[in-house]
Chain A
């Protein structure tokens, strides 16, 4: 089985711009979760999509949004970028159904905001 893929792997943007990140889950998985990882804040949950619906949401401002398509691929969008948005963005896929809820992570997208 192919793993979770994320594109692009690296991105440099300027403050005020917007960015879209993409995640393709493992085939057959219907849940995609997004996380922001920074040295200061650690791993923080952004949101989770299951069958095209946002099922869980973390405590991030509305500038962070996402969506999921019918083939389970997901995109995450950040508008009006700030310097503090520089981070590694990880997506994780899972079946989204019963126990044990294990997740499979992609390699991440490294976003640098200048």
Chain B
């Protein structure tokens, strides 16, 4: 079946460090891929998306490229800030049945 696997956290970085959160997926067909972010005490927010192979989604300095050959959608940011501390969810949608499959989430802590 369809699934999403993302790296376990927590990930702890110092401010201005480079961030990578790995995400791989298993799916039939041509899914859309998403990264959502959840700040403390809030619901999830859509951070970025990509709808087809080689698409790059970007928002607020975060980027992720849809790699069909490696079935991956890794999240990157060149310089993290304390305000980026949150839980990040990789997700897959559009594989039929209109369901979204979420990864387990990766908690990021950024220290000043």
- Assess whether B51 is in contact with A56, with CB atoms less than 8 Å apart: no
Smallest Cβ distance from A41 to chain B, in angstroms? 9
- Judge if A15 is at the interface, Cβ distance under 8 Å: no
Smallest Cβ distance from B48 to chain A, in angstroms? 10
- Which of the residues A50, A92, A107 comes within 8 Å of B42, measured between beta carbons? A107
Residues of B near A105 (CB, < 8 A) are 36, 43-45
- Assess whether A102 is in contact with B93, with CB atoms less than 8 Å apart: yes
**Tally of A-B residue pairs with Cβ under 8 A?**
61
State the CA gap A26–B45 with chains docked (Å).
14
Output the nearest chain B residue to A42 by Cβ-Cβ distance: B104
- Judge if B1 is at the interface, Cβ distance under 8 Å: no
5 further A-B pairs in the complex, CB-CB below 8 A; given A42-B105, A101-B98: A42-B102, A56-B99, A92-B100, A105-B45, A107-B42
- Could you show 30 A-B contacts with beta carbons less than 8 Å apart? A33-B100, A42-B105, A43-B44, A43-B104, A43-B105, A45-B99, A45-B102, A48-B99, A50-B98, A55-B98, A56-B97, A90-B44, A92-B43, A92-B44, A96-B98, A99-B32, A99-B94, A100-B34, A102-B46, A102-B49, A102-B93, A103-B44, A103-B46, A103-B93, A103-B100, A105-B36, A105-B43, A105-B45, A107-B42, A107-B43
Chain A residues engaging chain B, CB cutoff 8 angstroms? 4, 31, 33, 42-43, 45, 48, 50, 55-56, 90, 92, 96, 99-108
